[in-house]
Every structure is written in structure tokens, then in C-alpha cells.
Amino acid sequence: MDEKGNNIFDDGTDEGSPKLRHAIGGLQATLGDAMAFFAPNLNSYRRFGPNLFVPVNRTWGYNNRSVAFRVPNGSSDSRRIEHRVSGADANPYLVLAAILAGIHHGIVNEIDPGDPAEGNACEIMDEGIPFYLPSALKRLRNSDVMRDYLTEHYVDVYAETKMLEFDKFQRAISPLEYDWYL
């Protein structure tokens, strides 16, 4: 909303305002950097795969449920972005912080999201997105944008804590390993 309470994503057209597009561009630009917030646990990544109707790339579109960033149908004054990447195990406060950081980054830098996707957009996984927890944590640690918006200290503490959890998990021997190897 602007200072008058008007939706900044609405310009009265079906496409939405340039700020809507820039916000989506920012979300696309920060998706890989924020994956450790959107998928915070090792098990979080099991749901990502081609043709599972889970976002596996940076696509966006109008009323398309196969994209990462969906602009739902509806009245233009309720124009909004549906961020479809996070799982139910994500911390909603961190997810919201990362989304707002991406939106602000996109609006301030006027990032163009490209053309909206049509049809099935979840066939090809984006190799630029880390779909494995250690890779996502490394990407988060190296993200200037997330370090700027969420502070260097917070990003470091979060990434280190999640890496310690991952290391502890890796040291545990699962029942399947006992069945297979012992």
C-alpha cells in the first residue's frame, strides 16, 4: 500500500503495475539465496521435483499454479503475488522477512521478471536454485542481499545452527542403513 492506502501493484489493468513486475523480479533474484528459509530442513527438499506441481524454477505467471510466483485472478484492487515455494515446515516469520526483502530489492532496483509463463512451468528444474540443504545454507551465507536485509549476524547464526543440525543428522545411522549394510 502507498501512503494513501492504494495497492501499489494495481494500475487498473489485468497485468498490474510496473511495481508488481519489479517485485516479482526481486523475488526471482533472491529465490536461491532464501531457499534455506523456504525449505529449512533436509526433508523439506523431498517435495521438489519436476512435474509435481511444486515450484522448481523462478517462473511467474497469471493464475498459473505451476509457477513459483503466481498473480491470482481477481479484482485489480486486490492484485497480489502468491509466493508458492515455502513448505509447511518453514518459519513463517523468516519466510515473510525473506519475501519482503526480495520484493523491496526488486522494486528499488527495478528488476524485470521477464515474460509470464503459460502452461506447465514445473517441468524443468532450475540448476541455479539449491535443492539440497547444505547448498542452500552455503548460498544464504554468500548472499549480499539477505545479509543486508536480515543482517550478517543473523544469517551467520541461522546458517551455522542449521548446519550443526544437518551434521548431527548425518552422524545418525538410520534403520535403513542397518537393514542394508549390517
Domains with residue ranges and CATH for the chain: 18-181 (3.30.590.10)
CA dist 69 → 81, 121, 161 (Å) = 6, 11, 29
Beta bridge partners of 61: 70
Q: What is the mean pLDDT of residues 6-17?
A: 90
φ, ψ for residue 115 (rounded to 5)? -75, 150
pLDDT at residue 10 in the model: 93
Say how far apart CA 92 and CA 94 lie, in whole Å. 6
pLDDT at residue 76 in the model: 80
Say how far apart CA 113 and CA 60 lie, in whole Å. 8
pLDDT at residue 13 in the model: 86
pLDDT digits (tens, 9 = 90+) for 47-101: 999 999 899 999 999 999 999 999 999 888 889 999 999 999 999 999 999 999 9
Cα torsion through 100, 161, 127, 23, rounded to 10: 0
Cell readout for 82 is: 502468491
